[in-house]
Amino acid sequence: MSGNGVASAPARPLIGITGRRIRLDLIRGADPRYGDRCADSYMSDYGIRIARAGGLPVNLSYETDPEAVCHWLAGVVVTGGQDLHPACWGGDPAVVRDVDPRTDPMVHDAERDAYELALVRAALDRGIPVLAVCRGMQILNVALGGTLIADLPPGEVRHLSQEAALTDGTDDHLVTFRPGSIVAGLFGARTVTNSWHHQAVGRCGEGLVVTGRTADGVVEAVELPDAPVLGVQWHPEWMRSDDPTMTWIVEESVKRL
């Protein structure tokens, strides 16, 4: 109840969402006079689904200091995108092209890497729930000292799908979950998911546990035991069906209020 006797609306948690930065001249129809300026870009599907689940989505620019903003946020979503710079995890630097990431959103972006690694570490330090998606799961792993598989070889499971979003994936991309894990509680023993990645978790970072794999052994879910931290290699925001991980991050964030 509020002071005037009127019932208060349920509290809604602030959930930070990461994005990327691009030059305006990449946007079709943009005024060329502003073409060399930058815009921060966020996949709206995250915000839509978080809001639908009862959260308040907040888009985080690179200037949003991780330590400071984690005093306000109740949850964090680290989103998908381009590969992490190999300097972050000991990969081969020969794959890095000398291209400005503001002009090509799929090349390595050291500024984004540094921001998201710092954000994950700040959230973990404060015990804030984290949902790490695709690239985000790899960020989570590297933030804890893990490594990546630089390029998955072709095989029985298609990880870099040619399907367009939205999609629930194809039957070959069946993820099996570890009993007793967060994801097993959300999905049961297994589920089919979408998939758009060519890199994957290699050696797990400190404390991380693998809780989901496809039939070829590729890591599809990781968790920190006894903590509200979940990484998934698929894209819950682009599943045609409602993906319970989006509800999970909101429900876990409510507990922080």
- Residues assigned a catalytic role: 134, 235, 237
Using alpha carbons, select from 28, 121, 123, 137 the residue that is nearest to residue 79: 137
Those residues with Cβ within 8 angstroms of residue 224's Cβ, 6 or more apart along the chain or in another chain: 124, 207, 208, 209
**What's the Rg (C-alpha) of the chain?**
18
Length of the chain: 257
Residue 180 amino acid letter: G
**Residue found by looking up tokens 């876990």 in the block:** 252
Preceding omega of 166 cis (within 30 degrees of 0): yes
Please answer whether residues 75 and 18 qualify as being in contact, where contact means their C-beta atoms are separated by less than 8 angstroms.
Answer: no
| 192/204 Cα distance (integer angstroms) | 23
Residue 200 vs residues 135, 141, 161, 194, 223: alpha-carbon distances, Å: 9, 10, 14, 15, 15
